[in-house]
Amino acid sequence: MMDAAPSCFCSESDYCSDCGSVLPPPDVKDTVSCLCCGHSTLVTEFLGKYVHRTIIFNNLGTVALSNEADDDGALKGPLIDRRCSRCGCEKMVYHTRQMRSADEGQTVFYTCVQCRLQEKEDS
């Protein structure tokens, strides 16, 4: 049986010193084992470390909706001949979204260019 080869990675305790993979966070055990190669690191290597993570999903400041108005107030999107149920105007702007599962039809959102009434239609 061969002796284990000396460690080939010089790394901080966040990474495995044998294969270089990211180590899982420590728990109540005395050691942290690498998920790739199984090498164990003493949990004391993590003393004094603080890990902070921030995950931002769909930051609303960066998402532009397709029916938002331009600077001059005109709605963006394709213009179609469709009667508004509120004011009777014959022009509406629309956009589509996949709101339901992928094997079902898309949802079409209509916005009246005159009174800004919004309607939706599942297709």
pLDDT tens profile 12-65 = 667 888 888 888 877 778 888 888 898 888 888 777 777 677 877 766 665 555
Number of residues assigned to the chain? 123
Rounded CA separation 87/117 (Å): 9
Q: How confident is the model at residue 93 (pLDDT cuts 50, 70, 90)?
A: very high
Token pair 């005159």 is found at: 114
pLDDT mean across residues, the chain: 79
DSSP-derived pairing of the beta strands 118-122 and 107-112: antiparallel
Rounded mean pLDDT, 91-119: 90
Q: Calculate what percentage of the chain has a pLDDT beyond 70.
A: 76
Rounded CA separation 96/66 (Å): 9
Tell me which of 39 and 74 has the higher pLDDT.
39
**pLDDT at residue 119 in the model:** 93
Look up the pTM and report it: 0.44
3-state SS record for 36-91: CCCCEEEHHHHCCCCCCCCCCCCCCCCCCCCCCECCCCCECCCEEECCCCCCCCCE
Q: Of all helices (H) and strands (E), which one includes residue 108?
A: strand 107-112
